[in-house]
Amino acid sequence: MSMRVGIVGISGFGGGEAMRLIANHPHFDLVYAAGEGSAGSRLLDRFPGVPQKLAGLVIEKWDPASLPKLDVLFASLPTGASAEALARVSKDIKIVDIGGDHRYAEGWTYGLADIWPDQIKGQARIANPGCFPAATLTALAPLLVNNLIEPGNIVIDAKTGVSGAGRGGADSKFGYAESNENLQPYGLLKHVHMPEMAKTIARLGGASVAGLVFTPHLVPMTRGVLVTIYCRGSATTDQCLDAARRFYFERAFVRVTDNPPQTKWATGSNLAFVSYAADPARNLVIAMGVVDNLGKGAAGQALQNANLICGLPETAGLDGAPVWP
């Protein structure tokens, strides 16, 4: 079986990773790629290592009204740029929006593919979770559904590689000399990923969430997200690990580990790693989650969602091992 897929936002990091994964997918053929600055170039001009079968594909100027026949469109546009444009895409084309505009928007399903895959199957409009929410919610879900932590008392200390900030920032904050050998907190008390996390925690934990604390940090590495989450609860470490192992028993991409996970374990893959360390005497549960921000945190989960909505095995094209070292 072969399906026709397209990418808009091909020149960004998320779009580029989607291209890499699609090139390795047994059922998806990339027949359309669009971008802004790169329109008119061939994929080979932008990606010197692109597989030969895709090398000659010409990047088009993005126009939602004149798309070719497609089964699935992957959209990886800057926040604010996709809401209106994607509304003009034909209903015959399924969409996975890697960007942030449709998370918890009406008519769109929030695509936590490892947490509620059954709600994704059969849908046609998927809002792909952000990288921080992907790591955070994967770590928290087993605790929340088993009432092992208080949903209203969660502190998320998040760390991301610089590719999470997107490409080519003219902002010198992301210049090599400024970011290298530097560790930078940012966006305190107001990060754009907060709402989708709060809504999902409330949904999984059965309570409204007002007190969520989230602090992102920019780490001098290209890829990787680690969240260290401080929760209140009296569960033991083993109870948390057991809850996660049961919760993810049939899920191919989530690994529950005894040791604290490292970001490099996930690099280049769609895997998520979760672990826990608890101290009932202090009413403390530490949950940890690791993803590749461009894998499970963006394009990897997007392909997983596309597999689900297309009725394919969710692991199709995604079962490669991470790159190490």
Window 218-257: residues binding a second copy (CB under 8 A): 219-224, 226, 228, 230, 252, 255, 257
Q: Among this protein's residues, is 231 annotated catalytic?
A: no
CA dihedral 235, 238, 240, 243 (to 10 degrees): -120
Give strand ranges (E) for 207-271.
Answer: 213-218, 225-232, 254-256
Tell me the closest approach of the beta carbon of residue 100 to a second copy, in angstroms: 19
Cβ distance to a second copy smaller for residue 6 or 261:
261
Continuous segment of H or E residues that includes residue 157: strand 154-160
Tell me the closest approach of the beta carbon of residue 31 to a second copy, in angstroms: 17
Cβ distance to a second copy smaller for residue 3 or 284:
284
Cβ distance to a second copy smaller for residue 64 or 205:
205
The pattern of x and - marking residues 193 through 222 that bind a second copy according to CB under 8 A reads -----------------xx-x-x-x-xxxx
Q: Distance between CA 74 and CA 53 in Å, rounded? A: 19
Query: Which contacts (CB < 8 Å, 24+ apart) does range 303-306 have?
Result: 303/18, 303/21, 303/22, 303/25, 303/28, 303/270, 304/113, 304/114, 304/253, 304/270, 305/96, 305/111, 305/113, 305/120, 305/126, 305/128, 306/5, 306/28, 306/72, 306/74, 306/94, 306/96, 306/126
Tell me the closest approach of the beta carbon of residue 187 to a second copy, in angstroms: 9
Per CB under 8 A, the list member of 4, 36, 264, 316 interacting with a second copy is 264
Within 156-185, the residues that bind a second copy by CB under 8 A are: 157, 159, 161-163, 167-170, 172, 174-185
Give strand ranges (E) for 60-145.
Answer: 60-61, 72-75, 94-97, 109-110, 125-127
Tell me the closest approach of the beta carbon of residue 308 to a second copy, in angstroms: 19
Within 20-39, the residues that bind a second copy by CB under 8 A are: 20, 23-24
Total residues contacting a second copy by CB under 8 A comes to: 81
Within 273-302, the residues that bind a second copy by CB under 8 A are: 273, 277, 279, 282, 284, 286, 288
Tell me the closest approach of the beta carbon of residue 139 to a second copy, in angstroms: 12
Among the listed residues 131, 231, 240, 310, the single catalytic one is: 131
Cβ proximity of 62 and 99 under 8 Å:
no
